[in-house]
Amino acid sequence: MKKMRKKQVQSLSCLFAMALVCMMMPSRLRAQAQDSVHVDLQKAIEIALSETPTMRIADRTVQIKQEYKKEQIAALFPDVSIAANYNRTLLKQQMSMDMGGQTMNIKVGRDNTYSVGANLSLPLIAPALWSNLKLSSMDIELAQEAARSSKLELVNQVKQAYYLYLLAKQSYEVLLKSYANIEASNQLVTNSYNQGLVSEFEKLRSDVTLQNQRPAVSSAAKSVRLADMRLKVLLGMNIDEPVIFDGKLDDYEESVLNATMPSEQDIQLAQNSALRQLDLGIQELEQSKKIITGASLPMLALAGAFQYSGMGDDGQAFNNYPYSYLALSLQVPIISWVSTSYKLKQSDLNIQNMRDQRLDAERNLLIGVQSYLNDMQQAIEDIAADRETMMQAQKAYDIAKKQYEVGMNTWLDLNTAELTLTSTQLTYCQSIFNYLTAKANLDATLGVE
């Protein structure tokens, strides 16, 4: 009887296991269908440059400026137009004449009148048009530089968001490991308390410390999730897309410590996008002065026309009259020079204002560059010191744990060693993050692509 019951139990267990496997198969298939995509920093930058609307808008702006330049070039070519006209006379005009004391009424005009012609116009000498064409070329350069600025800013934002995600992830891992250490210490205290080796007060302190650590771990996990969502949004992705961002802050330690700091003499702002845009703006204002001057210079244009017209009454043959001409038109402004002089003075003042803006912007950028260099140098020194401190804190924690296990120190000593280790690990991660963010800001300021 017992054997039969045992077999029934085994059969039920097998059936339950088979049912569980069948239930898990769809979820496994879904998991395989939604395999996460691994993305590193370089891949993230490529995705951002190709998927975000900012770059598409910048590229279209350049295309708009290029099309406008083509429109200006088209104004230099002959303008030819064709016109046709047809008139049907419903009631002819009458002309009265006195003929030998008698009044004679004569109808004037034809029943049908038509005309077909072509008109030609071509600017031969147009200084304002030529200057405007050159200004259009400058507009294209300015739009291209604005697109480059958008690219540099986007790359910097992606780097900052990526480094922030790595910081949040590694901080979470540190806190999670710290929680595991505190939990293990709490288990040691509990075992010692059960054996009557420690007081209830020490056990309560250990329990409270463990409970207090849980909100920090939970908050760190939320920070990782938030940093992940922000990075995905910046890359033009959906926040629930299965993407894993690879890398750790530790991966950058060697490159940071071996980095060569540039000297102040090596710092050049020639590729800074903001200054380049101001330089192009000054050139555009100077070109605008030429447009103002060109509008007051003589203009010479060629005009021509060919017209074919005819008229006739109903039932009669039409009389045809061809007509054509070529003409040169010269326009010489005289009084406009009075207003032109005031416009030129306004342009000179605008140019001076923009030059002062550039000077002020350059000074502020130099201050920013120096600040980034100081942050990088400080971060390098901090990383070297933090690494040594972290190794010492790890060694101190291991010693404190062994001593507590054999009863040579108190739980407070062990807890202090754990807190010190966690603090040094978080500080180490923060130092690497500070260097990477300062380096990204420096590259964006110097226009490094």
For the segment 89-95, the average pLDDT, to the nearest whole number, is 78
For the segment 174-189, the average pLDDT, to the nearest whole number, is 87
Measured CA distances, 202 to 68, 182, 310, 326 (Å):
80, 14, 118, 110
Is pLDDT of 253 > 50? yes
Count CB neighbours of 369 within 10 A: 20
Q: For residues 157 and 163, give the distance between their C-alpha atoms in angstroms, rounded to a whole number.
A: 10
Q: Which of the two residues, 202 and 84, has the higher pLDDT score? A: 84
Q: For residues 312 and 112, give the distance between their C-alpha atoms in angstroms, rounded to a whole number.
A: 5
Residue with tokens 């020079």: 337
Give the confidence band of 166 by pLDDT, cuts at 50, 70, 90: very high
Main-chain phi, psi angles of 246, to 5 degrees: -85, 165
Q: For residues 386 and 18, give the distance between their C-alpha atoms in angstroms, rounded to a whole number.
A: 54
- Whole-number percent of the chain with pLDDT over 90: 45
For the segment 61-69, the average pLDDT, to the nearest whole number, is 91
Count CB neighbours of 46 within 10 A: 13
Is pLDDT of 31 > 70? no
Residue with tokens 């490094």: 448
Per-residue confidence (pLDDT) for residue 317, from 0 to 100: 66
> Which of 126-130, 275-279, 321-325 is predicted most confidently?
275-279
Closest to 181 (Cα-Cα) out of 213, 139, 218:
213
Beta-bridge partners for 115: 85, 309
Per-residue confidence (pLDDT) for residue 73, from 0 to 100: 87
DSSP 103-116: EEEEEES-SEEEEE
DSSP 299-319: EEEEEEEEEEEEEE-TTSPPE
Give the confidence band of 14 by pLDDT, cuts at 50, 70, 90: very low
Q: Which two tokens stand for residue 227?
A: 């940093």
Q: For residues 90 and 110, give the distance between their C-alpha atoms in angstroms, rounded to a whole number.
A: 10
Per-residue confidence (pLDDT) for residue 196, from 0 to 100: 80
**What stretch of H or E contains 284?**
helix 273-294
pLDDT digits (tens, 9 = 90+) for 100-145: 667 777 777 777 888 899 999 988 888 888 888 888 999 999 999 9
Give the confidence band of 296 by pLDDT, cuts at 50, 70, 90: confident
Q: For residues 445 and 449, give the distance between their C-alpha atoms in angstroms, rounded to a whole number.
A: 11
Per-residue confidence (pLDDT) for residue 308, from 0 to 100: 85
* 182 Cβ neighbours under 8 A, 6+ residues apart: 209, 210, 213, 415, 418
Per-residue confidence (pLDDT) for residue 158, from 0 to 100: 96
> Which of 141-145, 198-202, 411-415 is predicted most confidently?
141-145
Q: For residues 124 and 304, give the distance between their C-alpha atoms in angstroms, rounded to a whole number.
A: 13
Is pLDDT of 358 > 90? yes
**What stretch of H or E contains 443?**
helix 411-446
Give the confidence band of 64 by pLDDT, cuts at 50, 70, 90: very high
Is pLDDT of 390 > 70? yes
For the segment 165-186, the average pLDDT, to the nearest whole number, is 91
> Which of 40-54, 300-314, 332-346 is predicted most confidently?
40-54
- The DSSP call for residue 34 is T
Count CB neighbours of 74 within 10 A: 9
Residue with tokens 């304002």: 128
Q: For residues 186 and 209, give the distance between their C-alpha atoms in angstroms, rounded to a whole number.
A: 9
Length in residues, the chain: 449
Main-chain phi, psi angles of 358, to 5 degrees: -65, -40
Per-residue confidence (pLDDT) for residue 423, from 0 to 100: 92
Measured CA distances, 228 to 110, 118, 243, 441 (Å):
84, 67, 9, 21
> Which of 22-31, 142-151, 199-208 is predicted most confidently?
142-151
Beta-bridge partners for 83: 117
For the segment 40-63, the average pLDDT, to the nearest whole number, is 91
Q: For residues 280 and 202, give the distance between their C-alpha atoms in angstroms, rounded to a whole number.
A: 72
Give the confidence band of 330 by pLDDT, cuts at 50, 70, 90: confident
Give the confidence band of 33 by pLDDT, cuts at 50, 70, 90: very low
* 71 Cβ neighbours under 8 A, 6+ residues apart: none
Is pLDDT of 364 > 90? yes
For the segment 171-197, the average pLDDT, to the nearest whole number, is 87
Q: Which of the two residues, 404 and 446, has the higher pLDDT score? A: 446
Q: Could you tell me where the DSSP H helices lie in 53-126?
A: 53-74
- Average model confidence (pLDDT) for the chain? 84
**What stretch of H or E contains 363?**
helix 336-405
Q: For residues 309 and 84, give the distance between their C-alpha atoms in angstroms, rounded to a whole number.
A: 9
* 447 Cβ neighbours under 8 A, 6+ residues apart: 148, 152, 270, 271, 272, 273, 276
Per-residue confidence (pLDDT) for residue 205, from 0 to 100: 82
What 3-state class would DSSP assign to 407?
coil
Q: For residues 383 and 434, give the distance between their C-alpha atoms in angstroms, rounded to a whole number.
A: 10
Give the confidence band of 97 by pLDDT, cuts at 50, 70, 90: confident
